[in-house]
Amino acid sequence: MDFALLSTVNPALVPADALIIAMTTQGLTPTGLALDEASAGQLSAALKAANFEAKLGQTVSLYRLNNISCPVIVVVGAGDSKEFNGRALQKVAAQAYKALNSKMQAAYSFLSELTVTDRTATQVISDIARSTLEVDYRFDQFKSKKNETNNITMTLVVGDELANATGQTALSWGQAVATGQSFARDLGNLPPNICHPSYLAEQATALAKGQRKLSVDVLGEKDMEKLGMGAFLAVSKGSEQEGKLIVMNYTGGKKGEKPVVLVGKGITFDTGGISIKPAAGMDEMKFDMCGAASVFGVMKGILAAKLPINVVCVVAAAENMPSGRATRPSDIVTTMSGQTVEILNTDAEGRLVLCDALTYVKKYDPAIVIDIATLTGACVVALGKVVSGLFSPSDSLANDILQAGEQSNDRAWRMPVLPDYQELLDSPFADIGNIGGPNGGAITAACFLARFTKDYTWAHLDIAGTAWLSGAQKGATGRPVPLLMQYLQHRVTG
């Protein structure tokens, strides 16, 4: 699908397959009123007959109204206009798109007429594009029968002040975020027999092809041995697949400007290792590389948006398997930082690959570091699948990330990383154990990482609940790509 921007039009004369208009509980928007007038009240009569209440996300399609050239009018409920915020807009845009059919070639959307309480007019354009593309996403490459492809062009009617370069920039931004998010979803949804560490490394190389500002470096297990990454290797050694540390270095910003460093957990399948997981639902552990996928998604989005910023993306890619070479519970390893770890549970592997990656990134002299990981089941227990867990000793970084989450409808919620929890990680035999007992599991996992991130400003996003959906809608969400893109944009524009 594609988008276009247009200034004012006479909605009754638009040559399209469908018009999309909104209605709040307060009434129709100006375009709705104009169409009602053109059809001599037929539009409002039809809405009344359909008992349309304008509840948020409710849709109704009206066909062939008098004196209106377009055969289909999709009316989307926006709820109370006083409460119409960015989240509501996302819902409205998504429902509107779902009401169209795949045969349509052209739709005109008048949704940007809505006033959104917590969004600027340009953000509204970005959000409509992103939310629409999010619904348009399909993952059918392993189905013999593919979904019908949609060749629709959605024209956003935005008025004179935005049918220009400013509006186009906003539209492109929304599309860039969606492109990154879709890429993250694709990588997350791929089966683990295809998407293994070397596959991820190839994706990085493919991203960098023809890109002057992006360079890629892939470290194999031998390289990591030289660096003393004993924790990472303790995870990857149980697998036939070689572990990889993938570095994507994007230099879109000023020379000498310290980079933002993003580190993604890329466990391409998490069996638990010798501390093996129960069978039920284990298939979902293919999503244990969704932190890595989000980091790839952000890099793709940055390239699409040509963001003037320096960003280093690092992916700690390994497969957590039981085997004759696998780590045993009670094995002790030395991390790249020099700290020793007693591995008490091989299923707490995310923190092991991450701690060495987090030590490694010091060499980039980062402005800030954010790691993104499907780290703990405890985080899902605490926060469900609505918000990502945010952990950071820095109030200012935490607040910036929370704000980016609000602005992108990809919310996070702050949790503590207080030193008081550190003693739960004590080990009788090594500097630190890799598990912290039954209580506060998401927090003790963050506290483990905190021991490796003291030399820079750091935040950790636990996306165990938000990275994918289960049940009938099973699939990767592409979160937190929107949050991270928003954060980076904010760093650029202030």
* Residues with active-site annotation: 277, 351
Binding-site size for Zn ion (CB under 5 A) equals 4
Q: How far apart are CA 444 and CA 334, in angstroms?
A: 20
Q: Which span (5-13, 164-172, 269-277, 405-413) binds Mn ion, by CB under 5 A?
A: 269-277
Binding of residue 347 to Mn ion (CB under 5 A): yes
What is the CB-side half-sphere exposure of residue 314 using CA atoms within 13 A? 25
CB of 139 to ligand BES, least distance (A): 20
Residue 319 within binding range of Zn ion, rule CB under 5 A: no
Closest CB to Mn ion among residues 366, 433? 433
Cβ 236 to ligand BES shortest distance, Å: 14
In order of 4, 67, 265, 317, 426, the CA distances from 269 in angstroms are 41, 58, 11, 10, 28
| Stretch of 12-20, 154-162, 346-354, 462-470 lying at the interface with Mn ion (CB under 5 A) | 346-354
Please tell me whether residue 288 binds Zn ion under the rule CB under 5 A: yes
- The listed partner (Mn ion, ligand BES, Zn ion, none) that binds 214, CB under 5 to 8 Å by sort, is none
Compute the least distance from the CB of residue 142 to ligand BES, in Å: 23
Report the residue closest to Mn ion, judged by CB: 347
**Nearest Cα to Cα of residue 175 among 146, 154, 190, 160:** 154
Rg (CA), the chain: 24
Distance separating alpha carbons of residues 489 and 494, to the nearest angstrom: 8
Are 39 and 49 in contact by the 8 Å Cβ rule? The answer is no
Question: Does 270 sit near Mn ion (CB under 5 A)?
Answer: yes
Burial string for 376-385 (b: 16+ CB within 10 Å, else e) reads: bebbbebbee
- The beta strand positions in 271-411, using DSSP E, are 310-320, 331-334, 340-343, 368-373, 388-391
Which residues bind to ligand BES, rule: CB under 6 A?
270, 288, 345, 347-350, 374-378, 380, 435, 441, 464
In whole angstroms, how close is the CB of 437 to ligand BES at the nearest point?
8
What is the H or E stretch that residue 130 is in?
A: helix 121-136
Piece of 3-11, 59-67, 343-351, 356-364 that binds Zn ion (CB under 5 A): 343-351
As to burial, measured by CB atoms within 10 angstroms (0-12 exposed, 13-18 middle, 19+ buried), residue 14 is: buried
Cα 61–chain centre separation: 31
Min. distance of Cβ 450 from ligand BES in angstroms? Answer: 16
Question: Which is closer to Zn ion, CB of 180 or CB of 272?
Answer: 272
Q: Are 136 and 268 in contact (CB under 8 A)?
A: no
Window contacting Mn ion (CB under 5 A); options: 104-112, 262-270, 295-303, 480-488: 262-270
Our CB check for ligand BES shows the closer of 377 and 475 to be 377
Cα dist from 73 to 10, 19, 367, 463, whole Å: 14, 5, 50, 39
In the complex with Zn ion, the residue whose CB is nearer, 229 or 267, is 267
Which entry of ligand BES, Mn ion, Zn ion, none binds 268, CB below 5 to 8 A by partner kind? none
Residue 92 and residue 111 in contact, taking contact as beta carbons nearer than 8 Å = yes
Nearer to ligand BES, 41 or 384 (CB): 384
Q: Which two tokens stand for residue 438?
A: 């039954």
* Closest alpha carbon to 461 in 365, 356, 362, 354: 354
- Phi–psi pair at 163, nearest 5 degrees: -85, 60
* 259 DSSP assignment: P
Out of 197, 350, 465, 480, point to the residue binding Zn ion (CB under 5 A): 350
Quick check: 319 binds Mn ion (CB under 5 A)? no
Length of the chain in residues, anyone? 494
Q: With respect to Mn ion, which residue has the nearer C-beta, 237 or 414?
A: 237
Residue 433, binding choice from Mn ion, ligand BES, Zn ion, none, Cβ under 5 to 8 Å by partner class: none
CA 226, CA 221: separation in Å to the nearest integer?
9
Task: Identify residue 230 by its one-letter amino acid code.
Answer: G
Q: How many residues bind Mn ion (CB under 5 A)?
A: 3
CB of 446 to Mn ion, least distance (A): 15
Kindly state the smallest distance separating residue 136's Cβ from Mn ion, in Å. Answer: 33
Minimum CB distance to ligand BES smaller for 94 or for 231: 231
Residues 243 to 272 in contact with Zn ion, rule: CB under 5 A? 267, 270
What are the phi and psi torsion angles at 6 (to 5°)?
Answer: -145, 145
Helical H segments across 5-85, by residue range: 30-38, 42-49
Considering beta carbons, is residue 270 or 371 the nearer one to Mn ion?
270
Smallest distance, ligand BES to C-beta of residue 288, A: 4
Binding segment for Mn ion among 51-59, 124-132, 256-264, 342-350 (CB under 5 A)? 342-350
Binding site for Zn ion (CB under 5 A): 267, 270, 288, 350
